[in-house]
């Protein structure tokens, strides 16, 4: 199957439809943020049918209302030519965006959906309640071209990676059946298929994370933009006040005392009327908020870069508490609507290990814990240092990750570290996540133990030597 680049846009506003068509038909290197934003204010240029290189960037289908969007998805499934993603307006005549998304997912559960809305009276919880799913994303109007392209690229890539993962999974199952009959070269062939699945799962996870990171970066950037706009307005008033002070100084130099007293009175009235005292205090607060937002963006990008970096298989001393925090930063978009994170960190020494591999251990376990929490719950992270003897080999670090999810039966928990075992529905998991965790912990000379009770939650306890 060729790469799927089909996108559905459901919006009753022709200006928005034309805007998205123009954004996704243009090459990324020939557009600017200003052009993208201007499109939402009826400043729409001629829409080309192809990108600058002569090839269409995406295969776009447009619908004016929810019913037409649902029909388009139904027809695409009948034609065996599904959409990869859909941009759905929240506020439309007839059925709204949430109901439209629910009906679309009833037809095609694999399609990625972005709710587009300019209204703030629809909370994520309300939309999740209608759709029955929490893997829906949100885009606020007015949007810019970079946001649209990021979503389009991330979701088409993710859809294609998931499709490839399903194809490889089916291929693996066929290979296993054949190898049971043939009983030849079993280990080598399974190993190759497993390596393909591991790489596919990693890339699919990065696709999901990158879409979430877009949200986490856009939030601080939005209030930084608002703060700078306020500071710009404040600057106009401060400049006007400065001009009045210059006029006062000129009167004093000319010894025009009556005129100087008049200027002083005007200054006092201006300060009171324009709330200059408040402005001077608020500018400091706005600057502090903006700096905090910048630090959040820097923190997110640095942690994402560290996680995605190829492991150079070099042992290094790291702070496992900081490693856990970095993992939480990357997963923040997956956790923030339904999971409370409880930290119970102890004082830990620097532990010698493979940093990227430990990040993958924490990522897999915490992501699984979040998926096990269906509505609201908590994940507790507890770390402790234990000294059992005089030698360094007797020193251990213990990490406990406990969730309040649906739990696992005692029968299934005995199999969770087995390769290719998964309790998720067919097509939603490869069963390699915890198998990879087990392998990494064993490689470090540590142990991992899982305990669970259905309806109560699951706890993973990891014990690592001070030096791997």
In a domain, 403, yes or no: yes
Residue 283: which domain range?
Answer: 185-308
Q: Residues 323, 422: one domain?
A: yes
In a domain, 277, yes or no: yes
In a domain, 76, yes or no: yes
Q: Residues 16, 148: one domain?
A: yes
Q: Residues 420, 286: one domain?
A: no
Angle at 24 between CA 21 and CA 25, to 5 degrees: 75
What is the spatial distance between Cα 175 and Cα 319, in angstroms, rounded to a whole number?
Answer: 42
Lookup: tokens for 194: 């497993």
Q: Residues 299, 327: one domain?
A: no
Q: Residues 147, 213: one domain?
A: no
Across all residues in the chain, what is the average pLDDT? 79
What pLDDT score was predicted for residue 35? 47
Residue 371 CA, distance from chain mean position: 15
- The CATH number assigned to the domain holding 114 equals 3.40.50.2300
Domain ends where: 251, 279, 308?
308
Low-confidence residues of the chain: pLDDT under 50: 27-56, 194, 426-430
What pLDDT score was predicted for residue 208? 56
Q: Residues 71, 121: one domain?
A: yes
Q: Residues 89, 189: one domain?
A: no
What pLDDT score was predicted for residue 123? 72
What is the spatial distance between Cα 366 and Cα 379, in angstroms, rounded to a whole number?
Answer: 8
- Given a contact cutoff of 8 angstroms between Cβ atoms, the answer to whether 145 and 35 are in contact is yes
Domain ends where: 308, 343, 362?
308
Whole-prediction pTM: 0.42
In a domain, 83, yes or no: yes
- Given a contact cutoff of 8 angstroms between Cβ atoms, the answer to whether 381 and 363 are in contact is no
Q: Residues 111, 218: one domain?
A: no
Residue 305 CA, distance from chain mean position: 14
Q: Residues 299, 440: one domain?
A: no
In a domain, 167, yes or no: no
Q: Residues 267, 353: one domain?
A: no
In a domain, 132, yes or no: yes
| CA distances to 63, 91, 117, 129, 269 from 36, in Å | 21, 21, 17, 32, 43
Lookup: tokens for 323: 């490693």
In a domain, 165, yes or no: no
Number of domains in the chain: 3
Domain ends where: 308, 325, 349?
308
Q: Residues 322, 300: one domain?
A: no
Residue with tokens 């004082």: 347
**Dihedrals phi, psi of 293, to nearest 5 degrees:** -65, -40
Q: Residues 192, 144: one domain?
A: no
pLDDT tens-digit readout, 76-88: 999 999 999 999 9
What pLDDT score was predicted for residue 53? 41
- The CATH number assigned to the domain holding 349 equals 3.30.565.10
In a domain, 174, yes or no: no
């Amino acid at each position: 199957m060729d790469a799927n680049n089909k996108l559905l846009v459901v919006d009753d506003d022709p200006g928005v439809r034309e805007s998205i068509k123009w954004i996704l038909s243009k090459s990324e290197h020939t557009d600017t943020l200003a052009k993208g934003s201007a499109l939402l204010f009826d400043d729409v240029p001629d829409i080309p049918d192809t990108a600058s290189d002569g090839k269409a960037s995406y295969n776009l289908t447009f619908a004016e209302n929810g019913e037409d969007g649902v029909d388009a998805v139904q027809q695409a499934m009948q034609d065996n030519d599904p959409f990869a993603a859909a941009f759905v307006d929240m506020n439309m005549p007839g059925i709204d965006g949430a109901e439209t998304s629910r009906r679309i997912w009833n037809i095609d559960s694999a399609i990625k959906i972005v709710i587009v809305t300019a209204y703030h009276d629809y909370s994520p919880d309300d939309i999740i309640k209608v759709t029955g799913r929490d893997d829906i994303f949100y885009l606020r109007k007015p949007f810019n071209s970079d946001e649209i392209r990021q979503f389009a690229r991330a979701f088409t890539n993710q859809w294609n990676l998931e499709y490839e993962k399903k194809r490889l999974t089916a291929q693996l199952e066929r290979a296993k059946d054949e190898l049971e009959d043939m009983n030849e070269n079993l280990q080598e062939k399974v190993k190759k298929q497993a390596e393909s699945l591991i790489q596919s799962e990693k890339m699919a996870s990065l696709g999901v994370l990158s879409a979430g990171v877009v949200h986490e970066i856009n939030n601080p950037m939005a209030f930084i933009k608002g703060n700078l706009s306020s500071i710009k307005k404040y600057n106009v008033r401060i400049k006007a006040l400065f001009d009045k002070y210059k006029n006062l100084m000129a009167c004093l130099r000319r010894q025009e005392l009556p005129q100087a007293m008049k200027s002083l009175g005007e200054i006092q009235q201006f300060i009171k009327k324009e709330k200059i005292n408040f402005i001077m205090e608020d500018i400091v607060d706005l600057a502090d908020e903006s700096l905090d937002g910048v630090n959040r963006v820097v923190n997110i990008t640095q942690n994402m870069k560290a996680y995605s970096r190829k492991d150079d298989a070099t042992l290094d001393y790291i702070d496992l508490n900081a490693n856990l925090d970095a993992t939480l930063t990357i997963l923040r978009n997956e956790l923030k609507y339904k999971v409370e994170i409880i930290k119970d960190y102890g004082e830990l020494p620097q532990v010698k290990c493979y940093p990227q591999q430990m990040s993958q251990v924490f990522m897999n376990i915490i992501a699984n814990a979040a998926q096990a929490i269906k509505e609201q719950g908590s994940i507790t992270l507890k770390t402790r240092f234990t000294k059992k003897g005089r030698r360094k080999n007797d020193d251990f670090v213990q990490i406990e990750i406990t969730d309040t999810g649906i739990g696992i039966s005692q029968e299934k928990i005995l199999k969770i570290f087995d390769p290719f075992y998964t309790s998720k529905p067919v097509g939603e998991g490869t069963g390699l996540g915890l198998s990879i965790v087990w392998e990494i912990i064993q490689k470090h000379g540590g142990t991992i133990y899982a305990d669970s009770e259905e309806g109560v939650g699951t706890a993973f306890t990891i014990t690592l030597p001070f030096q791997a």
